[in-house]
Amino acid sequence: MPTHTLGNLEIILMIRDDMRRYGVEGMCRSLATPLTTRPCADVAELARFSDGQLIISSGDAADPLSEETAAVLRTQRIGVLILVDSDATVAQSWADHAGGFLDWADLRPETLREAIGDVAAGRFHVSETLARRSVTASDHTEADTAARPAPVSLTARELQVLRLIAGGLSNRQVARSLNISEHGVKRLVGILLAKLNCPNRTLAVVRAIEAGLLTL
């Protein structure tokens, strides 16, 4: 997503809970540069939106993103910021497309403005709280989770990025190696930090080795 000034953005709210949606709307209006908001209840409607708009979604607000809808969001350069409860998970399809994650417990006008600004500028945003836990859904049952910690599950692309950053490559070098954008690498690194519950790349590599995901 290209750099936008906040005043040029329209915020699309996919937040199921009315009180929470009203709260976010109020925060958007209270910023020094007020933001225009529009509610959206149907994922299919996203195909009609375009550059200059940014989606704020709660983790439980919508059905999973189809490949077709995700492709439209990429083509139209629409960023996605996901608001997450501390005890909730986010569907993998949304997590893969997100430009940032913000914990509801940390939501204030200043943190919302920072998160929106980062996503609008193409910088991956993840709060410190969320960087220390996984925000993607586990395939394991509740009984399995209660019996033992849920193993970390990484996609093939995430594993590729993990191996390259373990080798000391910068985001730019990783992007060149995988022939993807640097913004795409930043997003993948952010997801890795969240899944591995680590605040930085170095600890993420250590955690991956301990979990058996990576061998040096």
Q: Kindly state whether residues 127 and 151 are assigned to the same domain.
A: no
Q: Kindly state whether residues 34 and 107 are assigned to the same domain.
A: yes
Q: Kindly state whether residues 200 and 107 are assigned to the same domain.
A: no
Lookup: tokens for 68? 């077709």
CA 203/CA 58 separation, integer angstroms:
28
Q: Kindly state whether residues 128 and 202 are assigned to the same domain.
A: no
pLDDT digits (tens, 9 = 90+) for 4-45: 567 678 999 999 888 899 999 999 999 888 999 999 888 878
pLDDT digits (tens, 9 = 90+) for 160-202: 999 898 887 888 899 999 999 888 898 898 888 888 877 777 7
Q: Kindly state whether residues 100 and 118 are assigned to the same domain.
A: yes
pLDDT at 23: 93
Residue 10 pairs with which residues in a beta bridge?
36, 53
Classify each residue of 24-48 as buried b or exposed e, where b means 16 or more C-beta atoms within 10 Å of its C-beta. bbebbeeeeeebebeebeebeebee
Q: How many domains does the chain have?
A: 2
Query: Is the pLDDT score of 86 beyond 80?
Result: no
Q: Kindly state whether residues 116 and 184 are assigned to the same domain.
A: no
pLDDT at 127: 74
- Residue 137 belongs to some domain of the structure: no
- Residue 215 belongs to some domain of the structure: no
The DSSP line for 97-144 is H-SEEEEGGG--HHHHHHHHHHHHTT--EE-TTGGGS--B--SS-HHH
Average pLDDT estimate for 82-105: 78
Q: What is the CATH number of the domain that holds 64?
A: 3.40.50.2300
15 or 204: whose pLDDT is higher?
A: 15
Q: Kindly state whether residues 71 and 157 are assigned to the same domain.
A: no
Average pLDDT estimate for 86-102: 75
Contact 25, 13 (CB under 8 A): yes
pLDDT at 122: 80
State the burial class of residue 104 (Cβ atoms within 10 Å of its Cβ: 0-12, 13-18, 19+): middle
pLDDT digits (tens, 9 = 90+) for 107-140: 899 999 999 998 888 887 877 666 555 444 444 4
CA 11/CA 39 separation, integer angstroms:
8
pLDDT at 6: 73
pLDDT at 205: 80
Residue that finishes a domain, picked among 81, 110, 132:
132
Q: Which domain holds residue 20?
A: 6-132
Residue that finishes a domain, picked among 132, 161, 188:
132
51 or 166: whose pLDDT is higher?
A: 166
- Residue 36 belongs to some domain of the structure: yes
CA 199/CA 180 separation, integer angstroms:
24
Query: Is the pLDDT score of 143 beyond 60?
Result: no
171 or 214: whose pLDDT is higher?
A: 171
AA letter at 114: E
Q: What is the CATH number of the domain that holds 164?
A: 1.10.10.10
Q: What is the pTM of this model?
A: 0.64
Longest dimension (CA), the chain: 50
Q: Kindly state whether residues 38 and 118 are assigned to the same domain.
A: yes
